[in-house]
Amino acid sequence: MTRAVLALGSNLGDRWATLRGGVEHLLTGAGAPAPVALSPVYETAPVGGPEQGAYLNAVVVVETDGTPGELLERAQAAERAFDRVREVRWGPRTLDVDVIAFGDVRSDDPVLTLPHPRAHLRAFVLRPWLDADPGAELPGRGPLADLLAAVEAADTGGEQKLRRRDDLRLFPPGGTR
């Protein structure tokens, strides 16, 4: 089994229902990875791209016996289930699911670069992941706590400010609500 990290975000439609549905889609069905940890939900401003609304973001840590490509296909299937449209890079989306890390795999494959090439620069990935897995490290980059501290120190304009939404809590399929 390999530990992998998925980051989810939604800023169109019913963001909360979509985030919950995305988790459900990712973690159920044949070949589904086993949940290890689900992060708290954060509300974040968009980073890059056109003017758009705030995101709800979360991270899911899983164990899988599948391949990175199979996990990417599962992530893309979840996006399709929630009518994800890819028209504008970094544009608004119903559901975005990124494979952030897959064990210690490092790959420059343009279809799936691992670890995610911008994860170390994004508080909306680092903070929830750190909450879900406090001792985690981003392969080739180091401990999440150090990476997050560097992002926060560099964010003098507050563009990556996060607001933890303790009123919204994710659970694995079949988990207590």
What's residue 160's pLDDT? 87
CATH number at residue 26: 3.30.70.560
| Given 20, 74, 96, 127, the catalytic residue | 96
When divided into structural domains, the chain yields a total of: 1
Dist. CA 40–CA 164, nearest whole Å: 7
- The answer to whether residue 176 is domain-embedded is no
- The answer to whether residue 26 is domain-embedded is yes
Under 8 Å between Cβ of 39 and 132:
yes
Does the annotation mark 98 as catalytic?
A: yes
- By residue range, what is the domain housing residue 11? 2-164
What's residue 156's pLDDT? 80
- The answer to whether residue 170 is domain-embedded is no
What's residue 51's pLDDT? 72
Spell out the per-residue pLDDT of the chain, length 177, in tens: 999 999 999 998 999 999 999 999 999 999 999 999 999 999 998 877 667 789 999 999 999 999 999 999 999 999 999 976 666 665 678 899 999 999 999 999 999 999 999 999 999 999 999 999 999 999 999 999 999 999 999 988 788 889 999 999 999 987 655
Q: Is the peptide bond before 68 cis (omega within 30 degrees of 0)?
A: no
- The answer to whether residue 130 is domain-embedded is yes
What's residue 113's pLDDT? 95
What's residue 165's pLDDT? 97
- Any idea which residue has 């890819």 for tokens? 86
The CA-atom distances, in angstroms, between 93 and each of 18, 111, 151 are: 10, 20, 24
Does the annotation mark 106 as catalytic?
A: no
- The answer to whether residue 117 is domain-embedded is yes
Does the annotation mark 127 as catalytic?
A: no
Report the 10 Å Cβ neighbour count for 151: 18
| Given 15, 20, 74, 93, the catalytic residue | 93
| Given 20, 98, 122, 127, the catalytic residue | 98
What's residue 53's pLDDT? 84
What's residue 92's pLDDT? 74
* CA nearest neighbour of 38 among 9, 60, 10, 8: 60
What's residue 135's pLDDT? 94
- The answer to whether residue 137 is domain-embedded is yes
Residue 142 Ramachandran class (φ > 0 left, ψ -120 to 50 alpha, else beta)? left
| Given 15, 20, 74, 84, the catalytic residue | 84
* CA nearest neighbour of 61 among 34, 92, 21: 34
- The answer to whether residue 120 is domain-embedded is yes
- The answer to whether residue 144 is domain-embedded is yes
